[in-house]
Structure 1
Amino acid sequence: MRKYWKSIAIAASIVLSIGTFYATSAKSAEHYPEFVIQPLSGDIQEVKHLVLEGMYINPSSMNYINSNLKITVQGSSYNSRSILDQLIGNYPTVIKKFQEDYHTFMRGKDPVVSLYFEDSEFLAYANADYTIDTMGPEDFEFEIAVLNKDDGTVNSFAVEVPDGGGLDHIFVEDVQLVENKLYLITQNMVRKNDSFNEEKHIYEIDLDTQNLISHETLAESAQSKENIHTYTRLVENSPTAANEQIILLKTEETVTEEIESIRMTDFKQEIVFYDLATKETETVNVPGLSLEENQLSLVEGSTLYFTRVEEQELIVTPYRLGENQVDRELRIQLQSAMEKGLVPFLSVKEGKLYVVSPQINSKSNGDITVVDMQTGETLFKGQIALKTPSEEKGDFELHLHEIHVK
């Protein structure tokens, strides 16, 4: 019995620690304030399907347990209850829905929205995997799984990543499915001589034959001798949405190195769209719109949404890609001043534009506005606010990281 006393003591300590942990969590959760969507004008039913996910931070407290929260018209809930959730955080709303609706298919798959595609017929998943030896990463391959929603069958296979010998890392940024062809848009870190280059790639995979059909480089990010830095990012569309065109934003910065600092002296951007079916690339020139003043904030189908903030007014300019047409500006008055560089979250659903401030604090509430895209009419205006302001006397911050319209 004596030789087991250490194991018994360790087990008892673990059980006691877990019990104390949950007791502390339950006790501390009671002290977190409740947030509400406070209507100012319009019909609050316009936001009944709106879900806000974020994190509550109180700098005066070192207790961050259960600080992840969800806000709806019903109020707020701190929804990180398990030890695992508290360690890794909460999954995005889309991933939670996939796990609820397709539990078996989702088992063992990474909870990253960019790795999935969904339409009425299929749910597809693609991720990059590799092994590591003494020389670094090798044996890169794509893990593919496609669920047929009608009959429940799953097509699972792996495809070797071409030119894997020069890769240091690869990350899947978007998955698209068009006419039984799976397209993977990736960010690759490529070894070239003694340096690394970031590149955007696209891989086309035939789901019938389970073979790679084509592969090409879309863009490279590099630094030239003239201190010109170029980089390209994939502009986010609605998570998991079906799109036959992908949008890239290329940025070129010219920097000047001074004694104690680096100063940017020139800044240029261009928008490029790539058609998956035709494999054609085209530069988008938006008439009368300066990319230095307007930020490309959202892509919804074939419409690009540009934003800029002027004092306490958000100006949203929609541009219809296929028709090469700029729609009229939408001017949305913000109740709270935005910090420099911050732009509200945008979401479009069924002809309505949802605008939400990315953060609030003890000095400023967050704005929520719903606008009819066709008429420009403001359907709802409200704020994210404390239900009982007097309960929270110290400084706090609420950072939103996702908005979702069900």
Structure 2
Amino acid sequence: MKRYVKLIIIAIVILLSIGVYYIQPMFSADERPEFKIIANSGDETLSENMVLKGYYSENVMLGMGIGDDLKITSKGTTYYSESTNSFQSQTSESDYEKINQLQEDYRSFMRGKEPNLANFFEDDTLLAYAELTTNNYSSVTEDEEFKIEVLNKKTNKESSFSVDLPKGTNYSYMYIEDIEVANNQLIIVTNGYSLNNENEQDEHHFYSISLPNEKIEKDESLQLDLVNLDGKQIQYVELLSGMNTVQTSKFLVYRVEIGDEQSETELYEDQEIYETTYELIGVNIETGEQFLIDLSDEVGNQALSSAFSIEKDILYFYKKNKETITIYTYSLEQKELREMETAELSEAQKTALKEEVTLSVYNGAAFFVNNDKIKGKDQHIMAFDLESGKAVFEGSLIETKKQSATNSELYLYEVNFQE
């Protein structure tokens, strides 16, 4: 039953997305508010390269409204619809800039490619692309294939080939979450629902394809048995790394949500009456090793469920107590947890951290940004030095042009820093 609920939700989101896209021109450019990042205290230079990405909408009903993706800096606001690119109607703002750069640098290779960063890999030598011949969320057929194209950036030589999807008819749907290249193997990371899966969980696979031999040499799945269920069941599994970047990632990180089994009535009524816990699974792309990232005893279950940052092979977590905040780092390479310095919180910081936040790490500091803009209040931004624990920056996101509508919403989903 949970499977049908998920598919129904997916269908509704797709239909609503199409509807919002076609009515988006009603959202007048002259009526949109402008936002900017301002520094209140600390090192003002820390905010100069900050880019907040999010979505602003008006006439919000049931979580949906007419709006637009945007990015906000210390200089002001840029709305996504102000860009004119052939990929614009097909991809999110967070992917748009990199897709646009690839299109400009490798125009011939990029022609006809799906504008989704999850389908691309790039390093100093290669630019690789893979797609599944099915459309996302549509039924998998017996003729399903992976179509692969690789560009050698040094020789400008392109190669392309296809490989059959193993046991394709066993799946009702499948899509690509990430691709990586290691040891002359192209690894395609997928998420799909197996018709033979009795526990109603998606299957996460790693297909290792030899680039010289142009064939699948290994098909492995995510080892969910690493997780100790203790009489409970897996509710949801999500890939947290790799999807939104084309750069090489040595490690992938999955978050596993665990809870009590729900009845059909509870599912439809969306009652979270069970206690939810979380576990993390790491995957070494180069060796294929999978391992449990056991942190709950130290950082607490709340830290695993909320915002944490992944930078290369380091995970960053935070744990908030009544008066303090502690930042932790976990090395995926060494499998070691390190507790950083603890910082004392001001009343404003304690209030801000009660809300949902996004955590990002840049230039030796951990940045926290409130995700939702509360009407009549400035959105809080703060940064703590990773080594000393001291607050090194305090800022706000303010509205500089036109007060937004009463039933408006600004939601931030990404914090980046540009050099």
Query: Is the alpha carbon distance of 1:313 and 1:27 closer, same or farther for their aligned partners in structure 2, counting shifts above 3 Å?
Result: same
Is structure 2 residue 319 aligned with structure 1 residue 319?
no
Structure with greater helix percent: 2
Counterpart for residue 216 of structure 1: 220
Moved more, 113-122 or 202-211: 113-122
Identity, in percent, stands at 26
Is structure 2 residue 113 aligned with structure 1 residue 109?
yes
Counterpart for residue 18 of structure 1: none
Q: Is the 8 A contact 1:355 1:368 kept in 2?
A: yes
1:201 to 200, 205, 221: 205
Give 1:201 shift: 0.7
Query: How do residues 29-178 of structure 1 correspond to structure 2 at under 5 angstroms?
Result: 29-59=29-59, 67-81=68-82, 88=90, 90-92=92-94, 93-130=97-134, 137-178=141-182
User: What amino acid is the match of 2:202?
Assistant: E
Counterpart for residue 276 of structure 2: 267
Give 1:384 shift: 0.9
Is structure 2 residue 306 aligned with structure 1 residue 304?
no
Is structure 2 residue 380 aligned with structure 1 residue 379?
no
Query: Is the alpha carbon distance of 1:204 and 1:346 closer, same or farther for their aligned partners in structure 2, counting shifts above 3 Å?
Result: same
Give 1:70 shift: 1.9
Counterpart for residue 237 of structure 2: 232
SS of structure 2 residue aligned to 1:325:
strand
For 1:324 and 1:155, locate their aligned partners in 2 and report how far apart those are by CA, in whole Å. 41
Q: Is the 8 A contact 2:241 2:252 kept in 1?
A: no
CA-to-aligned-CA distance 1:92-150 (integer Å, 9 cap, x gap): 23333333333333222222222222223322222222389x99633221122223222
Structure with greater strand percent: 1
Gaps of 5+ in 1: 1-23
SS of structure 2 residue aligned to 1:46:
helix
Q: Is the 8 A contact 1:123 1:146 kept in 2?
A: yes
Moved more, 363-372 or 160-169: 363-372
Query: Is the alpha carbon distance of 1:86 and 1:123 closer, same or farther for their aligned partners in structure 2, counting shifts above 3 Å?
Result: closer
2:251 to 220, 227, 245: 245
User: What amino acid is the match of 2:411?
Assistant: H
For 1:311 and 1:357, locate their aligned partners in 2 and report how far apart those are by CA, in whole Å. 18
User: What amino acid is the match of 1:380?
Assistant: F
For 1:306 and 1:285, locate their aligned partners in 2 and report how far apart those are by CA, in whole Å. 13
Is structure 2 residue 188 aligned with structure 1 residue 179?
no
User: What amino acid is the match of 2:237?
Assistant: T
Query: Is the alpha carbon distance of 1:111 and 1:47 closer, same or farther for their aligned partners in structure 2, counting shifts above 3 Å?
Result: farther
Which structure has the greater CA radius of gyration?
1
Give 1:399 shift: 1.3
Query: Is the alpha carbon distance of 1:27 and 1:280 closer, same or farther for their aligned partners in structure 2, counting shifts above 3 Å?
Result: closer
User: TM-score scaled by structure 2?
Assistant: 0.76
Gaps of 5+ in 2: 1-23
SS of structure 2 residue aligned to 1:67:
strand
Give 1:66 shift: 6.6
Query: Is the alpha carbon distance of 1:180 and 1:361 closer, same or farther for their aligned partners in structure 2, counting shifts above 3 Å?
Result: same
Counterpart for residue 3 of structure 1: none
Task: Count matched residues.
Answer: 377
Query: How do residues 283-298 of structure 1 correspond to structure 2 at under 5 angstroms?
Result: 283-286=292-295, 288-295=297-304, 297-298=308-309
Query: Is the alpha carbon distance of 1:171 and 1:193 closer, same or farther for their aligned partners in structure 2, counting shifts above 3 Å?
Result: closer
For 2:249 and 2:87, locate their aligned partners in 1 and report how far apart those are by CA, in whole Å. 32
SS of structure 2 residue aligned to 1:97:
helix
Q: Is the 8 A contact 2:328 2:337 kept in 1?
A: no
SS of structure 2 residue aligned to 1:359:
coil
Query: Is the alpha carbon distance of 1:258 and 1:176 closer, same or farther for their aligned partners in structure 2, counting shifts above 3 Å?
Result: closer
Query: Is the alpha carbon distance of 1:110 and 1:309 closer, same or farther for their aligned partners in structure 2, counting shifts above 3 Å?
Result: farther
Q: Is the 8 A contact 1:59 1:396 kept in 2?
A: yes
SS of structure 2 residue aligned to 1:289:
helix
SS of structure 1 residue aligned to 2:373:
strand
SS of structure 2 residue aligned to 1:270:
strand
1:255 to 261, 286, 304: 261
Give 1:40 shift: 0.5
For 2:262 and 2:148, locate their aligned partners in 1 and report how far apart those are by CA, in whole Å. 45
User: What amino acid is the match of 2:285?
Assistant: L
For 2:142 and 2:262, locate their aligned partners in 1 and report how far apart those are by CA, in whole Å. 38
User: What amino acid is the match of 1:245?
Assistant: F
Give 1:228 shift: 3.2
Counterpart for residue 8 of structure 2: none
CA RMSD of aligned residues (A): 3.8
For 1:60 and 1:192, locate their aligned partners in 2 and report how far apart those are by CA, in whole Å. 40
Moved more, 84-93 or 181-190: 84-93
Q: Is the 8 A contact 2:255 2:280 kept in 1?
A: yes
For 1:266 and 1:135, locate their aligned partners in 2 and report how far apart those are by CA, in whole Å. 34
Q: Is the 8 A contact 1:145 1:155 kept in 2?
A: yes
SS of structure 2 residue aligned to 1:98:
helix
